[in-house]
């Protein structure tokens, strides 16, 4: 047998140090596995959730798969939560240009989420129904997790080594001073309920409407300063993976992020979701709709790791994970790089134009302008003034930002408090 034949039969040995190096640079790392569990108990029956693990960036191509998980906590009825569950995903996807690379797709996602949330809100408000909903919408593509949220249904991330981080912000008037200022500046009043006799009760609410949240989808009977523009955060997990816990405020009013993460650590996702709900109910009973999704993003190695580990894998995994609990800040310690979450994007501004940017793709071929929110094509004359149909040339009137159709422009102005509303003086 010649030397060449021998080397063909045996795979070349890769030194362990090289393997670890690859792991840390994210090279040749396979897509993670997604395992999930859901649990909940209804009090009012206004919590909804969405689990969709078979989405494809390029339809018909399974290698472009991604997953979506969402919690929708409705108020004043269920129609907004149901409408969002049925329409938001397709509205987000329609705002992502076709035929772009995975990298570009992930870059376009935060903006598409903003467009999709606003479009869904406009469509729901046109139905003439009066409910609203929180939305916490999670897209998982490989190791990249993108979370868009309005309201107070949190998503937390628990990573290897026990670091728990919040991927959402709470849009609650009581706790969010920045949002209180924004609502007041756009013409809303913020205050507590006044019981007869003058004493104030309950959390801070905004008026008209009396909602405790500062952002939601729906709520046509509440001031337009309650906007559907989501906080968006995009992170890339290390290939050690992590666990997401997405839940309605029935959980978070009782459990801190840390307690929720700790209460189910080491358990499979299905059981973990049940335990988080149980833990939340243990201390104060069922006061509110309580819904929890647990999503594990697991390295493929984990699934082949036997109960009695084979020696080689054991050595490998102890090298990867063994030193991290020391939490060394020493940069020369390469092990500290494993398990670190890379922040790719975070933006929470409620100003629509800031969120859509200037370089939103127009419908170049048809000569029409495509609305950056609802994706409807309009002839230039119908919408905002533009020079000779060119998207980027300065229009006669000072205008910065992407093209919006008349309908979405109206929504934008209303959200910023530029449209006079009956009963509100500015």
Rounded to a whole number of angstroms, the minimum distance from the CB of residue 195 to Zn ion is: 43
**Residue 81: which region, alpha, beta or left (left: phi > 0; alpha: psi -120 to 50)?**
alpha
Pick 323 or 410: Cβ nearer Zn ion: 410
Nearer to Zn ion, 140 or 408 (CB): 408
User: Which tokens in the block code for residue 295?
Assistant: 């999503």
316: β partners: none
3-state DSSP call for residue 292? strand
Prior bond of 208 cis (ω within 30°) = yes
Of 320 and 404, CB closest to Zn ion = 404
> Would the CA dihedral through 404, 408, 414, 415 be positive or negative?
negative
Q: Which is nearer to Zn ion, 127 or 287 (CB)?
A: 127
Number of residues in contact with Zn ion under rule CB under 5 A:
5
Nearest distance, CB of residue 371 and Zn ion, angstroms? 3
Rounded to a whole number of angstroms, the minimum distance from the CB of residue 52 to Zn ion is 25
Cα–Cα distance, 284 to 81 (Å, whole number): 26
Of residues 57-96, which lie at the interface with Zn ion (CB under 5 A)? Answer: none
In the complex, the smallest distance separating the C-beta of residue 383 from Zn ion, rounded to whole angstroms, is: 9
Nearer to Zn ion, 37 or 383 (CB): 383
Question: How buried is residue 394: exposed, middle or buried, by Cβ count under 10 Å (0-12/13-18/19+)?
Answer: exposed
Residue 373 or 384: which CB sits closer to Zn ion? 373
- Residue 208 neighbours by CB distance under 10 Å: 14
Place of tokens 């229009």: 395
CB of 363 to Zn ion, least distance (A): 13
356-415 positions binding Zn ion, by CB under 5 A: 371, 373-374, 405, 408
If the CB atoms of residues 84 and 408 are measured against Zn ion, the closer one turns out to be 408
Q: Which two tokens stand for residue 314?
A: 């054991």
Residue 359, φ and ψ in degrees, nearest 5: -105, 35
Contact by Cβ (8 Å): 109, 234:
yes
Instruction: Provide the minimum distance between the beta carbon of 172 and Zn ion in the complex, in angstroms, as a whole number.
Output: 29
Whole-number minimum distance, CB 325 to Zn ion, in Å? 51
Return the number of the residue (233 or 370) whose C-beta is nearest Zn ion. Answer: 370
The least distance separating Zn ion from the CB of residue 406, rounded to whole angstroms, comes to 8
Q: How many Cα neighbours within 13 Å face the side chain of 119?
A: 24
> In the window 257-316, what residues touch Zn ion (CB under 5 A)?
none
Q: What residues does 213 pair with on adjacent strands?
A: 172
Binding mask 131-150 for Zn ion (x = CB under 5 A): --------------------
Residue with tokens 């009782």: 254
Binding site for Zn ion (CB under 5 A): 371, 373-374, 405, 408
């Amino acid at each position: 047998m010649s030397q060449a034949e021998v080397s063909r039969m045996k795979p070349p040995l890769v030194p362990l140090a090289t393997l670890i190096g690859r792991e840390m640079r994210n090279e040749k790392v396979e897509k993670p596995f997604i395992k999930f569990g859901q649990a909940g108990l209804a009090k009012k029956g206004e919590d909804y959730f969405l689990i969709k693990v078979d989405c494809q960036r390029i339809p018909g191509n399974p290698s472009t798969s991604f997953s979506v998980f969402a919690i929708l906590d409705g108020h004043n009825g269920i129609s907004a939560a149901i409408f969002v569950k049925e329409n938001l995903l397709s509205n987000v996807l329609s705002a992502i240009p076709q035929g772009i690379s995975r990298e570009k797709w992930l870059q376009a996602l935060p903006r598409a989420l903003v467009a999709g949330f606003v479009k869904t809100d406009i469509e729901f408000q046109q139905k003439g129904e009066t409910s609203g909903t929180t939305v916490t919408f999670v897209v998982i593509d490989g190791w990249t997790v993108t979370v868009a949220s309005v309201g107070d249904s949190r998503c937390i991330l628990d990573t290897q080594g026990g670091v728990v981080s919040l991927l959402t912000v709470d849009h609650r008037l009581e706790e969010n001073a920045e949002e209180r200022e924004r609502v007041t500046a756009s013409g809303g009043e913020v205050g507590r309920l006044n019981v007869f006799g003058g004493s104030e009760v309950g959390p801070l609410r905004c008026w008209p409407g009396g909602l405790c949240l500062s952002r939601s989808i729906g709520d046509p009977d509440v001031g337009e300063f309650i906007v559907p523009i989501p906080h968006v955060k995009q992170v890339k997990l290390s290939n050690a993976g992590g666990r997401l816990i997405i839940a309605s405020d029935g959980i978070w009013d009782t459990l801190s992020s840390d307690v929720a993460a700790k209460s189910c650590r080491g358990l499979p996702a299905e059981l973990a979701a049940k335990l988080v709900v149980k833990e939340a109910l243990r201390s104060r009973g069922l006061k509110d709709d309580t819904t929890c999704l647990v999503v594990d993003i697991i390295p493929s190695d984990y699934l082949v790791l036997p109960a009695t580990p084979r020696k080689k894998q054991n050595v490998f995994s102890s090298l990867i994970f063994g030193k991290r609990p020391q939490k060394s800040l020493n940069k020369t310690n390469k092990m500290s790089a494993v398990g670190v979450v890379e922040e790719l994007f975070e933006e929470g501004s409620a100003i629509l134009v800031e969120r859509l940017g200037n370089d939103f793709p127009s419908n170049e071929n048809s000569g029409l302008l495509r609305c950056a929110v609802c994706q409807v094509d309009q002839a230039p004359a119908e919408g905002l003034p533009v020079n000779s149909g060119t998207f980027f040339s300065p229009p006669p009137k000072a205008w910065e930002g992407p093209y919006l159709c008349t309908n979405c422009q109206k929504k934008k102005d209303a959200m910023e408090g530029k449209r006079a509303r009956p009963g509100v003086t500015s």
